[in-house]
Each structure stands twice: as structure tokens, then as C-alpha cells.
Amino acid sequence: MKGALLVAGTHSDAGKSVLTAGICRWLARQGVRVAPFKGQNMALNSVVTASGAEVGRAQAMQAAAAGVELEAAMNPILIKPSGERHSQVIVMGEPYADVDARSYRSLKDELRPIVAAALADLRSRYDVVICEGAGSPAEINLRDSDLTNMWLAREADLPTLIVADIDRGGVFASLFGTLALLDHADQAQVAGFVINKFRGDQSILAPGLEQLERLSGRPTLGVLPFVEDLWLEAEDSLALDAGAPESAPPPGADTLDVAVVRLRYISNFTDADALRGEPGVRVRFTRSAADIERADLVIIPGTKATVEDLERLRQTGLDHALAARAERGGPILGICGGYQMLGERIDDEVESRRGSVAGLGLLPVATSFTAQKLRRLRVGSSPWLGSEAGGYEIRHGQPKLGLETNLQPLLVAADGEPDGVVNGAVLGTSWHGVLEHDGFRRALLQWVAARAGRRFIPGTESFSEVRARRLDALGELIERHVNTAALTDLIEHGSDRSSPAITIETRQLAALADHR
């Protein structure tokens, strides 16, 4: 098999990432060498490749589904919002520019060749490349600056599927309307539709699918069912409300309650995913002071706007809830930006440009922001917990312990460099992904349970096994619920250019407006 495909969606969180990962997994299980690709990604959830490049988390999940090593070419442009109007642009894994919405549009001409070259490079090295769009291709106000939807489809001649989430309602209008709003050359790339999260009897849906095909001239290649416990690492904070499956504690064990503070610019929130894989561990994202008070463990996660999120904590009174918790000896873990907030001071002329700002004062740490972003994988241990550990760093902030402190570090890298600190029940680290390490995660939870007077019995399945099982479930969804023969033909031979174009006459729109 040789070819490529673009998965577009009617809106954000329609199922593009899931469908892309599922197709990658299905192909990989058949022995096809496949790679994921997303030309431009806007996300605060990112990871570091083995070479030190920064890319979106969704592409890391999709690369794992494909069984290949993650690389910068799989996500050449990553946009990370750093405030209400500003974003950092990452190009081929490296910081490139700080922009607002208008100035970013002026960069598009210089970014397009980079996107095209990255895709061409992947296609030269892999049998199949499954591309994911962003948002909706029908955002007609942005079409002239598009990098990852129909511009890419036409530039690389990619057959395109449009996926829609039926659980939100209006699925036929969403699919037909998305197609109709595209110009005729863009419509020519669209080969069919996929419906996501269907519940109930599919025979009831069938008449609508038949009429959609008559109206559009394009088939629906699959209807993916709503799967209650289908849960994957997400890149968009919209997915936080979806929750995740939880398993009951083993006989004789207690439930541990973990509260993750839901920051406005929360990043790398998937740091908590591995906790959910442990039986009897309940994880919730919250802005509630009551949740912070009663949880067995509180996590302050990473953020792309450390100072702004710190201000919001103070505005909502959560700073007092955290201080009261620390005074009672309740465990708190700060990760990256959360760790920086727990310190005494933040000096930032890079991200927020606010200068010196007081931290929460729960750790004897001062953080200085530097223009150069540190990006690296880390391997080491936690002497404090007596476990091995690993993770990765993505940060401008450089936390430093006070000179007179004799507190022990939370982690020590294999090269001997210490990281983080343990101050009673308040912990901090700059390592993302450390909770994915089975030994560290379980040792930490046992410490939390002991402080809470609860009994914790660790699971027996590694997080890597949990992740592989989830990805296999995605591949099976494609195999069982998508017309894989038609999908294969589409990848190998492209779109059927004879599909009719949908024309919306101006006079029809005028008549509709008059009627209203």
C-alpha cells in the first residue's frame, strides 16, 4: 500500500485525532509502515522527541499508534497560546516567533513551504501518511491563510474524509454544510464522511446516510459507535470534561481521590492520565476549593502562562485553599509551571513580561524565565521514594532552591543533576511525564495513602500496556466499523474527481434572508 489521506472535521473535538490514530493503528497491525502528520497544531499539550524537538501530544499518541518514533516532521508547526492574545510559534520543534493572531497570518507564506516539505519528507520514507486537519475546513474567514486543511489537501493532492460527532446533534447539517461552504476545487478533494459517537440502532440512521449521499454525491465510509470507556491522551482542554473510566479498588483497598487544579492555560494535563490507570484512583479536574480541601492528593499542573494562572488562583481564592492544605500536611504536587507557582518568587521578562511576582510561598524556590527554552528527555530516580523515574522537560522557567535550604530533591537525573524539592507534604518537579513511570507513580501513591490513612494496592498492568490496549481498541474500531476496502482504495488511488460540486446560489441565500 502506498499513499496518503487527510482527516478533516466539522469542528474541534469532532474525532479527527481519534480517527487518525485509529487508521494508523489499523494499518500498522497489517504491517503497513505508516506515519501521522498534522501541518499546524494549536495546543498547550506537547511532548519532546528523542532529538529534543517539541511537538503536539496528539501526534505523539498517533506515532505510538503507528508504532514509529515521534519526530518533528509529524507536526512541523505548533502554536502554544501564552495569554489572551499572544502565542508562541514552534517550527520543526524549535521556538520560532511570538505572535498575535494578526501577525501570525503574515507568517503563513514562509511557513507553507515548511509544511509541504515536512509532509513530502514523510511520504518519501513511509508507505502511508495519515494527515489530520485542524478545527474545520469550512472556517471560510481563514481559508486564505490555511496551512493544514484544504490548502494542504490541494497542495499534496490528498483525498479527504470529513468526520462529525453525532453526539452533539445536527450531524447531517454539519457534514453537508461543511462541504457546501468549500469552493469547488476544495470540494473535489472530499471523498466521503465518517460519523463518530453514534448510539443506538444504526438502521434508524441509514435513511439519513442514503439521503446525504444523494445530496452530496459522497458516501459515508463508517459510523463509529459511542464507546463508554474509550479514553485516550488528549491535546485539547475541551476533552477534560469527557472524563475517563475509573476502576474500583481491589478487595481490601481504599479509593484515592486526586484533584488536578484546572488552570486557564493548563498544559500537559495528560501528566495525570497514568493515575487513572491505577485501580481505585479517582482523578478530577477542578477549580473548587472544597475539592482541594478534601482530596488525598492535589496536583498543580503545567501552564503556558504561569504568572497569569497564578493571578487567577489568587483571584478565585484557591491560593488560600492551597496554603491551608499545606499547613494541614495535605500532599500537593506541582509539575513544571505548577512547581514554579509554589515557589517564593517568579522573575519573568519572557513569557508574561511582568517582572518579579510573588509565588505561593510553599516551596523555597525562585524561578527565573530565560529566552531559551529547555527541551530534553530525562531518566533517573527518586531517592526520596526509593524508585526509578523518567520524564521530559519543556520550559523557559529555571527554578532554583534557596542557598540555605537542606531539603532533598524529589528527583535526580542519571547525570547527577537534581530536580524539584520535597518540603514536608509539598512536592515540586520540572519533569513532565514522571507519573507515567510505574515505579515512581506507585511509590508516590503509597506515600499519599499512608498520609491519608488509606490502603492502596497498586495495579499489576504497566502504563505502557494500558496505552497499547487503548490504541488496539482504536484500530479495532476502524476494522469493525469502517469500510476498510473503500478506505484502502481511497489511500491508494485518491478522490473520485467525478463527485458533484455543491453550489449555493446567491439568490437562494438572499431569498432565505428575506424570508427571515
Query: CA 325, 331, 335 angle in degrees (round to 5)?
Result: 110
Residue 74 grid cell: 509529524
What is the distance of C-alpha 485 from the center of its chain? 30
Q: Which residues contact 102 (CB under 8 A, 6 or more apart)?
A: none
C-alpha torsion 315→321→326→332, nearest 10:
-80
Strands 426-429 and 332-335: parallel
Phi, psi (degrees; rounded to nearest 5) at 472: -60, -40
User: Which amino acid makes up residue 266?
Assistant: I
Contact of 399 with 340, CB cutoff 8 Å: yes
417 burial via Cβ count (<10 Å: 0-12, 13-18, 19+): exposed
463-481 and 57-66 helices cross at what angle (nearest 10)? Answer: 80
Instruction: Map residue 360 onto helix, strand or coil.
Output: coil
Query: CA 258, 390, 460 angle in degrees (round to 5)?
Result: 60
Active-site residue, 493 included: no
Cα torsion angle, 275, 277, 281, 283, sign? positive
Active-site residue, 24 included: no
Per annotation, catalytic residue among 336, 396, 437, 481: 336
Half-sphere exposure (CA, 13 Å, Cβ side) for 267?
Answer: 30
Per annotation, catalytic residue among 396, 432, 437, 481: 432
Residues assigned a catalytic role: 336, 432
